[in-house]
């Protein structure tokens, strides 16, 4: 080969190679940028989905737990007058607007319903042999446990999930005596609205399936059934009493994907301007930092109550497991205080929800100040709080904390140059005496708290005699 031909060959080979390398660098960087952007969008969408799931579960739990006192009364007495039933039902529905009505069905036939107006046709209904609700009733009887059935379209309008609870009479015999059931329709459309699922700005297409809590084996009752078969779909599960609902979500196909125009613009000019590489690296690093910051922010939002800044129910389960491990290791009791404000609804009605929010935020700070750093203050929803007390060796230590809580709540709260006062009822449950799991302790504490309210409010009530537990330490 002639020497003169070498530069020409080098020009023909080296120039396209360098140009190709620059182009490949830009295509690689823009691809990474696009991937980072998609990961960020996916992280945001997953957090939004988790928030929706937590909101739906929280709404169900709030409506379900509210009727525990009514069930306990019927179970212990076996009888209830129409007037007393109407009085209790009215108070429960006032506390939770998601409950459409409350029915009692001795022997599976509806004999009590509140409110009666608009629900007259339900009286005398045989739920066991009902053409649409009989299957759920038989499922409840077979399992002997509460179930959520539906959602169903109601004759009086709207869509509801039916919460059914079998009621067994308190008996000394080995076999429980079945009395009948309690049934409460929970407003399904309202739950979807409160959860944020119906928010047009959500940017997600969502579908739900399973009528009777059978997960992927159920049928689609909300959204497009095709979502469950699409690739790239996010799947999450909502825990209900007797199983799970599967939730499928996909970025809204009708909304343009952000970032695609920038990517193609960068690729177009990347072949001509190599300096754009520096900008793309800087942009990638910036987007990566934003991604990590967004993930940390969403983790914070997912684990803490935005109004009070207190940890929420998700954190409560984790802290309880850690506290149980320490309690068992040191052979110390673990005490759960289940607290519900007295007079909070009146403050909301009289002064508005802004006053209620200020009261909740102020009381959250007061609770933090009166407990030790090793104790956990949790807001579980509405005006209900839980405090976990560790390293308590005697009853006086518990009473010292509850006295401080009662006193700090009694102090006036200021709102727009006005002052108002609240009270608080506290149910006290001890591990392991009143329950081995968090759900068992919360149920015991909830019952004790309602007993405190029934005894006159603004006081404490133990779930069981604590002297046996503390005498061992």
- Collapsing DSSP to helix, strand or coil, 281 comes out as helix
Helix 353-370 to helix 344-351 angle (10° resolution) is 140
Exposed e or buried b for every residue in 188-212, given b needs 16+ CB within 10 A? bebbbebbebeeeebebbbbbbbbb
Cβ atoms of 258 and 37 closer than 8 Å: yes
What does the alpha-carbon distance between residue 266 and residue 288 come to, in Å, rounded to a whole number? 18
What does the alpha-carbon distance between residue 453 and residue 8 come to, in Å, rounded to a whole number? 95
What does the alpha-carbon distance between residue 18 and residue 73 come to, in Å, rounded to a whole number? 83
Dig out the tokens for 201 from the structure. 């700005």
- Which single residue is written with the structure tokens 């405090």? 387
H or E element: which one contains 447? helix 438-454
Contacts of 79 (CB under 8 A, 6+ apart): none
- Which single residue is written with the structure tokens 């009733």? 137
Cβ atoms of 133 and 127 closer than 8 Å: yes
Burial class (CB in 10 A: 0-12, 13-18, 19+), 319: middle
Dig out the tokens for 99 from the structure. 């409950």
The β-bridge partners of 414 are: 419
- Collapsing DSSP to helix, strand or coil, 416 comes out as coil
Dig out the tokens for 108 from the structure. 């599976």
Catalogue the active-site residues: 383
| Rg of the chain on CA atoms, in Å | 29
């Amino acid at each position: 080969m002639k020497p003169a031909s070498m530069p020409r060959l080098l020009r023909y080979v080296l120039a396209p190679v360098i140009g190709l390398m620059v182009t490949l660098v830009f295509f690689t960087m823009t691809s990474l940028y696009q991937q980072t952007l998609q990961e960020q969008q996916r992280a945001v969408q997953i957090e939004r989905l988790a928030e929706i799931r937590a909101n739906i579960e929280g709404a169900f739990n709030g409506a379900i737990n509210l009727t525990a006192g009514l069930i306990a009364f019927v179970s212990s007495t076996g009888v209830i007058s129409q007037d007393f039933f109407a009085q209790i039902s009215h108070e429960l529905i006032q506390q939770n607007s998601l409950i459409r009505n409350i029915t009692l069905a001795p022997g599976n036939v509806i004999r009590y319903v509140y409110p009666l107006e608009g629900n007259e046709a339900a009286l005398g209904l045989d739920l066991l042999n009902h053409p649409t609700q009989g299957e759920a009733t038989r499922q409840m009887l077979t399992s002997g446990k509460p179930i959520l059935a539906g959602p169903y379209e109601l004759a009086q309008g709207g869509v509801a999930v039916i919460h059914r609870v079998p009621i067994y009479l308190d008996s000394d015999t080995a076999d429980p005596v079945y009395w009948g059931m309690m049934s409460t329709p929970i407003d399904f459309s309202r739950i979807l609205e409160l959860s944020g699922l119906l928010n047009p700005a959500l940017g997600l297409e969502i579908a739900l399936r399973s009528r009777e809590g059978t997960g992927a084996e159920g049928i689609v009752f909300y959204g497009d059934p095709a979502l469950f078969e699409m690739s790239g779909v996010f799947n999450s599960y909502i825990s209900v009493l007797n199983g799970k609902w599967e939730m499928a979500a996909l970025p809204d196909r009708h909304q343009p994907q952000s970032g695609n125009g920038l990517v193609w613009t960068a690729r177009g000019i990347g072949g001509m301007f190599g300096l754009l590489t520096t900008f793309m690296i800087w942009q990638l690093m910036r987007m990566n930092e934003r991604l990590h910051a967004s993930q940390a922010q969403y983790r914070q939002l997912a684990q803490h109550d935005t109004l009070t800044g207190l940890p929420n129910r998700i954190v409560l389960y984790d802290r309880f497991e850690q506290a149980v491990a320490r309690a068992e290791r040191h052979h110390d009791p673990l005490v759960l205080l289940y607290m519900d404000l007295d007079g909070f609804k009146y403050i909301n009605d009289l002064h508005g929800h802004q006053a209620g929010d200020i009261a909740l935020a102020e009381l959250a700070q007061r609770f933090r100040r009166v407990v030790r750093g090793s104790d956990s203050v949790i807001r579980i929803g509405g005006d209900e709080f839980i405090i976990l007390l560790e390293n308590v060796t005697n009853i006086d230590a518990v009473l010292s904390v509850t006295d401080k809580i009662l006193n700090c709540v009694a102090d006036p709260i200021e709102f727009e140059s006005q002052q108002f006062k609240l009270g608080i009822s506290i149910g006290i449950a001890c591990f392991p005496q009143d329950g081995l799991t968090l759900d068992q302790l919360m149920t015991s504490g909830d019952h004790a708290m309602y007993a405190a309210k029934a005894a006159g409010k603004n006081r404490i009530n133990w779930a069981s005699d604590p002297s046996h537990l503390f005498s061992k330490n």
